[in-house]
Amino acid sequence: MATTHKTRMLIIGSGPAGLSAAIYGARAGMQPIVVQGLQPGGQLTITTDVENYPGFREVIQGPWLMQEMEAQAVHVGTRMMWDTITSVDLSGETFIARGDGGDIYEGDTLVIATGAQAQWLGVPGEQELSGKGVSACATCDGFFYRGKKVVVIGGGNTAVEEALYLTNHSDDVVLIHRRDSLRAEKILQDRLFAHPKISVMWNKRVDRFMPGEDGALRAVALIDTQTGEQSDVLADGAFVAIGHAPATELFKGKLAMDETGYLLVQPGTPKTDVPGVFAAGDVSDHVYRQAITAAGMGCMAALDAERYLAARQFEGVTETVQY
C-alpha cells in the first residue's frame, strides 16, 4: 500500500550535494527526507581512489566516503528512502514527488541533487578499466599520472580543457579526435595548438582500451575514420571527455534549463526559477563538477531552504495579524 511521506525539506539525490544538504537541513530542524535514486551515493560510489577531498591526508575510497556522509546525515536526523522518483509536481505550495513503487513524497521545500553522468564511448575495456587507467575526470584523477603519458578523447571544450589541465602533470598529452577539426572555442584551440606538451591525432576513433599484464591500461586501439587503418597508442591514462548528461528529465517543462539540460539557477545561489526549489551539485554545474563544490552547493541549498521557510512563516504570521 502506497504511503505519503511529508517533510519540510525533500531532497532528490544522494551524492555529495544531496547528503550535505541533508546534514545542514537536519541540523536546522527540517527533518529532511533523501530519496536516493538509482545510484545511491552518486558518482563517487564508482570512484576508487579519492585524493582531493579535504580532511584526509591519505587516499580514501569513494564508496567509503559516501557511506560516511550518509551515516552522518542519518545521525543528525535525516530519513533515507530507497526509492526512485518517476514524476514531480512543482505547481503548488507543497512540492510532490512520486516514487516508482507508488509512495508519495511531499516537501515544503525541494532540493534537486540528481547529478550528471559522464558520457562514455561504449567500447570494449572502457568500463573494465575504469579506475585502472580510464577516467572521465582529469581534475579528479590527473594527479595519479604524474610524469606519465596520457591521452584525451574528444574535440569540444571539455576535451581541450582536460588536455590543457593534464599538462600540469604530464609532459606527453595526446588529444584524440575522430574528425579533422575541433569543436572547441577558438581561444582554447589556440592554447592547445601552442602548447609544447600536447599533440593531436586527427581522424581517429577509439576501438577499445587494452590492459597490460598488471590489469591496468596499457594502450588504446584506434581506427582511422578516413582509411580504416588500425593503430595503437601506448598510454598510462586515458580520459574520455565527450560531455556529461545532467539527470534532469523529470523537470523538463517545469524548471528553467539551458540548451544541454542543466538546471538554471540565480547566479551565486542554488535558487531555481520556482521559489522553494533549489538545485545543487552537477545537476546545475557544468563547469567544476567536483565532489567538494557539490557539497558546498548542497550546504547553500539547505541554508536557503531554511531561510525560505522562515520568510514564508513570517509572512503568514503578518497576514494573520493584519486580519
Backbone angles phi, psi at 74, to 5 degrees: -65, -40
Is a pLDDT exceeding 60 seen at residue 73? yes
Is a pLDDT exceeding 50 seen at residue 121? yes
Question: How many other C-beta atoms lie within 10 A of the C-beta of residue 224?
Answer: 15
> Measured in whole angstroms, how far is the alpha carbon of residue 123 from the centre of its chain?
22
Is a pLDDT exceeding 90 seen at residue 313? no
Q: What is the pTM (predicted TM-score) of this model?
A: 0.77
Quote the pLDDT of residue 264: 97
Cβ pair 181, 203 in contact under 8 A: no
Going along the chain from its start, the domains and CATH numbers come out as 4-117+244-321 (3.50.50.60), 121-241 (3.50.50.60)
Active site residues: 137, 140-141
Confidence of residue 320 (pLDDT cuts 50, 70, 90): very low
Quote the pLDDT of residue 43: 75
CA nearest 277: which of 309, 245, 244?
A: 309
Quote the pLDDT of residue 47: 67
C-alpha cell, 178: 575522430
Q: Residue 142 region, left (φ>0) first, then alpha (ψ -120 to 50), else beta? A: alpha
C-alpha cell, 15: 551524492
CA nearest 135: which of 24, 71, 51, 46?
A: 46
Query: How many Å apart are CA 284 and CA 158, to the nearest integer?
Result: 16
Confidence of residue 48 (pLDDT cuts 50, 70, 90): low
Mean pLDDT of 78-106: 95
Quote the pLDDT of residue 38: 73
**N-terminal to C-terminal alpha carbon distance within the chain:** 42
Backbone angles phi, psi at 81, to 5 degrees: -120, 125
Angle CA 161–46–7, to nearest 5: 100
Q: What percentage of the chain has pLDDT greater than the value 70?
A: 97
Residues 6+ apart with CB under 8 A from 304: 269, 270, 271, 278
Mean pLDDT of 261-268: 96
Quote the pLDDT of residue 7: 97
